[in-house]
Amino acid sequence: MSENSPAGAPDSAPAPRARATIADVAARAGVSRAAVSKVFNRTGSISVDTTERIRQAARDLNWTPSATATALRRSRSHTIGLVLDKPSDRVDIGLGTASFLAGIQSELAPLDYGLLLHAIDREPAHQLAAYRTFAETRRVDGMILTDSVENDPRFPLLAELGFPAVLVGTPFGDEQIVHVESPDPEAGVVDTAEHLLGLGHRRIAYFGGSPGRYQSEARRTAFVDALARRGIEPVSNELVDYNPKRAAAATVAQLRSESPPTALVYASDAMAIAGIQAATELGLSVPHDVSVIGYGGVDVGEWMTPSLTTVRRDSEQRGRAAAITVLRLLGERPEGDATLENPELVVRGSTSAVHD
Amino acid sequence: MSENSPAGAPDSAPAPRARATIADVAARAGVSRAAVSKVFNRTGSISVDTTERIRQAARDLNWTPSATATALRRSRSHTIGLVLDKPSDRVDIGLGTASFLAGIQSELAPLDYGLLLHAIDREPAHQLAAYRTFAETRRVDGMILTDSVENDPRFPLLAELGFPAVLVGTPFGDEQIVHVESPDPEAGVVDTAEHLLGLGHRRIAYFGGSPGRYQSEARRTAFVDALARRGIEPVSNELVDYNPKRAAAATVAQLRSESPPTALVYASDAMAIAGIQAATELGLSVPHDVSVIGYGGVDVGEWMTPSLTTVRRDSEQRGRAAAITVLRLLGERPEGDATLENPELVVRGSTSAVHD
DNA sequence: TTGTAAGCGTTATCAC
DNA sequence: GTGATAACGCTTACAA
């Protein structure tokens, strides 16, 4: 690492002159602090003349209202919190998270809201403490949650605190929490089943996410039910924690069994990609010998070879909807609408009719 | 979208009772506000007895110091800003960004610093306004920058403002800015050239990033120079803006030329993955007919088939180093060290000796 | 060991 | 139209 620090030591550099305050601007414009505030908040009535004088003074002094002072006075931080899952000792951010963040940002930015990231592990005690502090310190005005779990302790807590929050997804039980979700969240998964059956597949293996997580369970149930309606049962139905390595291992085990599956369905694109590799290393060709389907619709799925058949869920749209919804909770009037489209099956190169 | 809003309307729900303040805690414990403050900041000396009374009172009232009030009083927001690049109308977050964020978080969390995300486009005027506001409103105590560009206007501005900031990477010219970078940033790229030459490749195409971006230019120059030292010139050397689609198109054009390259080198993994697809669609097999090398070392490269030979740069480590450095600038004493290892060539399945 | 009081930089409610 | 002035919730000399 190389490093040089002009900004660090205030030795040679001129001591960063004290920031101008509203009082300085008022003085320079020859008005009261109140007048300045009124101009910048378009509240109260100030003559065109003084308004211009004040604006000029502010420009001269490079003044912008202090966010912290405003936050204190208005008890609004103008910031939304997002809690990311931190499974163990490292923060883990899935492939789809990037566009989710982008979506949130795109709605927050126009209203000049900030986005504060936090990473918290799944230890219930830590969770509660963290969320409580999050709400109590009032660093954020509202928050966006993801990944509802069974008996999620966060929902009652937030309700008790009366803290504005929106869940992306569906709460597990009948917990009361504002949430955004598409009309039929599992539509794409059902199509997955139909697609495979239509191609003649009968021996199908499913590799799921994590136990106790709503999305993981719902997705799996929807798939298994869809097969059941056609009298089929998956040859395996395993939870591999959204972990690509575990998915690959489980895939190898299945493909080596005496009556191996002809189709492999995964609860995430990353796992599906790893599954393709596992199959390939066993000398099988995708999709000729085995078909593979992922979930998520990440961009790389489109670029890789074979391109990945998957269920695309618009992460960016989900981010936007979540942001819009919290903002509304806070009394803001964001532009867009919070409508979510159903995830949809995207048939690409990793699936084909069963051969043999 | 379905939505229900218990927290939204304060109709049925008991109006969220006013939060306890330090005064309430003081009253309940029968002490002054100063005493409470001292206990919670471990400053001044308070008897064990009163300390316990105060802590108990705080617990009873679920009180935590208000972050905004503290921020105002101390003129420290305890928050670091990170500016993400927003190329056009949408926020774009690269594949490696996720682990970069994770790295930053892992250093910030223990010191209870928050991370505020901002997305700004590359329009110089917007940039300057945004950074100025960022610094002036004091929402953040310091910031982390990425992607230095030629004549980067941000550096002089931040210097002028005396604002603590750290660049991840190398400044383009001789701008003064604290930065973190590995000792030999282009070591892996040079190895790339050697690797290909060693495999017998002589017709090599290079697909670069964006013009005027330091990393993009440095990477390209290092590669071309490394080839030149062995008397080789790339058959093509194009800038495709880190855009996988453009990379694929450029790849097709090259492979269809009269003397097509036997090796394709890309400035990002995403582009390399798209390049493999392009080659495959032309009926070529990777690595048998063409070798492919990416840059970045994203996880999917390891899981895909063929697995991707690439230059791995530890994004998480870069995030950690950036966070540590900016925290130090702020007078904090973060745990880890800000050392960066050189990126290294990871030879996997997408390269092989030239056949023909 | 504890308390008093003066801010930090705004905004909101009144008067004028 | 404009200006005093009192908060917002906390920290920190300085006194006691």
Average confidence score pLDDT of chain B: 89
Q: What is the pLDDT of residue A84?
A: 79
DSSP letters spanning B132-200: HHHHHTTS-SEEEEE--BTT-THHHHHHHHT--EEEES--SSS----EE--SSTTHHHHHHHHHHHHTT
Asked if the Cβ–Cβ distance from A116 to B118 is below 8 Å, we say no
Please compute the mean of the pLDDT values over residues B236-248 and round it to a whole number. Answer: 94
**Predicted local distance difference test score (pLDDT) of residue B4:** 39
Residue B76 pLDDT grade (very low, low, confident, very high; cuts 50, 70, 90): very high
- Of the pLDDT bands very low, low, confident and very high (cuts 50, 70, 90), residue A130 is confident
Enumerate residues 333 to 352 of chain B having a beta carbon within 8 A of any beta carbon in chain A.
Answer: 338-340
| Smallest CA–C1' separation from B40, nucleotide | D11
Among B74, B129, B102, CA closest to A117: B102
DSSP SS3 for B233: coil
pLDDT at B173: 83
Q: What value does the mean pLDDT take over residues A54-64?
A: 95
Predicted confidence at residue B91, as pLDDT, reads 45
Give yes or no for B138 touching A (CB within 8 A). yes
Question: pLDDT at position B87, please?
Answer: 57
Contacts with B69 from chain A: Cβ below 8 Å: 72
What was the pLDDT predicted at B93? Answer: 55
Cβ <8 Å between A338 and B1: yes
Q: What is the mean pLDDT of residues A184-211?
A: 96
What pLDDT, on a 0 to 100 scale, did the predictor assign at position A3?
39
Q: What is the CATH number of domain B77-181+316-329?
A: 3.40.50.2300
- What end-to-end distance do the CA atoms of chain A give, in Å? 57
Per-residue confidence band for A57, with pLDDT thresholds at 50, 70 and 90: very high
B174-232 residue pLDDT tens: 888 999 999 999 999 999 999 999 999 999 999 999 998 999 999 999 999 999 999 99
Q: For residue B94, what pLDDT is reported?
A: 63
Q: Is the dihedral of CA B35, B40, B46, B50 positive or negative?
A: positive
**pLDDT at residue A356 in the model:** 65
- pLDDT, residue B90, reads 44
Using alpha carbons only, what angle is made at residue B274 by residues B187 and B222, rounded to the nearest 5 degrees?
Answer: 20
Residues above pLDDT 70, as percent of chain B: 92
Q: Comparing A92-101, A321-330, B313-322, which segment has the lowest mean pLDDT?
A: A92-101
Q: Which two tokens stand for residue B262?
A: 């036997």
Q: What is the pLDDT of residues A201-237, one digit of tens each?
A: 999 999 999 998 999 999 999 999 999 999 999 999 9
CA distance A280 to chain B (A): 7
How do the domains of chain A map onto residue ranges?
Answer: 22-62, 77-181+316-329, 187-313
Q: Decide if A139 and B176 are in contact by the 8 Å CB cutoff.
A: no
Q: In this predicted structure, what is the pLDDT of residue B2?
A: 38
Closest CA in chain B for residue A8? B329
Contact B348, B307 (CB under 8 A): yes
Average pLDDT over residues A303-315: 94
Instruction: Please say if the pLDDT value at position B6 is more than 70.
Output: no
Domains A77-181+316-329 and A187-313 share a fold: yes
Whole-number Cα distances in Å, A345 to A140, A232, A287, A289 = 37, 20, 17, 21
For the domain A187-313, what is the CATH code?
Answer: 3.40.50.2300
Residue A6's pLDDT band (cuts 50, 70, 90): very low
Percent of chain A with pLDDT over 90: 72
Answer yes or no: pTM beyond 0.85. yes
